[in-house]
Amino acid sequence: MKKKPEHRDLFAGALELMILKSLHWRPMHGYALAQRLQSISEDYLQIEEGSLYPALQRMLKAGWLETEMGISARNRPVRIFRVTKAGRKHLEQELESVKKMFAGFNRVLQLAGRQEA
């Protein structure tokens, strides 16, 4: 497996934002979350499964997530991660700022090459 750590994180908090958004859509256990991220990113992003866990712990500590016992697709008892109220609020704020950032980012990329009028 190729590992290029310098490409792994797009920007600080990107992984957390993706996790938050996924879990907001539906509470999941770790493996399901990893699969979900993998499939929807269509291998554009290389996410090492293990790296989810430190991120999950950070978010648990920040109070954006909580855990509860649930059942996996295979009917095993698993820990399900669910977004809290605080998490939801954080997600909204972050999405807003990310959108703004990307807008700015796009604009710079589009215009940076052009001659000024």
Partner 1 sequence: MGWFRQLLSRRRRYDELSQSIREHLEEKIADLIDRGMTREQAEHAALRAFGNVTLIEERSREVWQWPTLESALADIRFAFRQLLRSPAFTVTAVTTLALGIAVNATMFSLVSAFLLPRLPGLDPQNVVVPTSINPDATFQASANPVSAPNYFLWASDKHLFSEVAAADEYRIGSLSGPGQQPEAITYAAVTANYFSVFGAVPQLGRAFLAGEDQAGRDHVVILSHGLWERRYGSDRSIVGKTVRFNREDYVVAGIMPASFRHLGFTPQLWAPITFTAADRAPNARKNRFLYVFARLAPGVTLKQAHSQLEALAEQAQHDFPEIESRWGATIRTLPEFLIYNFDIRPAITILMAIVGFVLLIACANVAGLLLARAVGRQKELAIRMSLGATRVRMVRQLVTEGLVIALAGGGIGLALTYLGIRFLRAALTFNEAISAMPVRLDSGVLLFAVAVSLASALLSSVAPAIKASRASINTDLKNETRSASGRGHNRLRVVLVGGEIAIALFLLIGSGLLIRGVYLIDHQKLGFEHDHLMTAGIGLDQARYPDAAKQEKFVRDLMTQLRQIPGVMGTALTSDLPASGFNSVTFHIKGQQATRANERHTTADVVVTPEFFEIIGVPVLNGRGLTDLDDATAQRVVLVNQQFVRKYFPGRDPIGKQIQLDVSGSPAAWSEIVGVVGDMKSYSEDTRFEPQVFEAYQQRPVGSFSLMLRTSVDPTSLTPSLRHTAAQLDSELPLLRVMSMDTMIDLNRHGNPLFAQLLTTFAVLALLLSALGIYGLIAYSVGQRTQEIGIRLALGAKTSDISRMILRDGFKVALIGSAIGFVVALPLPKLFASVLEGDLSFSAPFIYPLVLAVMLIVVLCSTAVPASHATGVNPTVALRSE
CB 67 within 8 A of CB 79: yes
The residues in 46-65 that bind partner 1, with binding defined as CB under 8 A, are: 48-51, 53-54, 56-58, 60-61
Residue nearer to partner 1 on the CB measure, 77 or 104: 77
Residue nearer to partner 1 on the CB measure, 67 or 84: 67
Under the criterion CB under 8 A, does residue 79 sit at the interface with partner 1?
yes
- C-alpha–C-alpha distance, residues 40 and 37, integer Å: 5
| Helix, coil or strand: residue 107 | helix
- For residue 89, the minimal CB distance to partner 1 (Å) is 19
- For residue 112, the minimal CB distance to partner 1 (Å) is 37
Under the criterion CB under 8 A, does residue 72 sit at the interface with partner 1?
yes
Residue 50, classified by CB atoms within 10 Å of its CB into exposed (0-12), middle (13-18) or buried (19+), is exposed
> Where do contacts with partner 1 occur on this chain (CB under 8 A)?
1, 29-32, 34, 48-51, 53-54, 56-58, 60-61, 67, 72-74, 76, 78-79
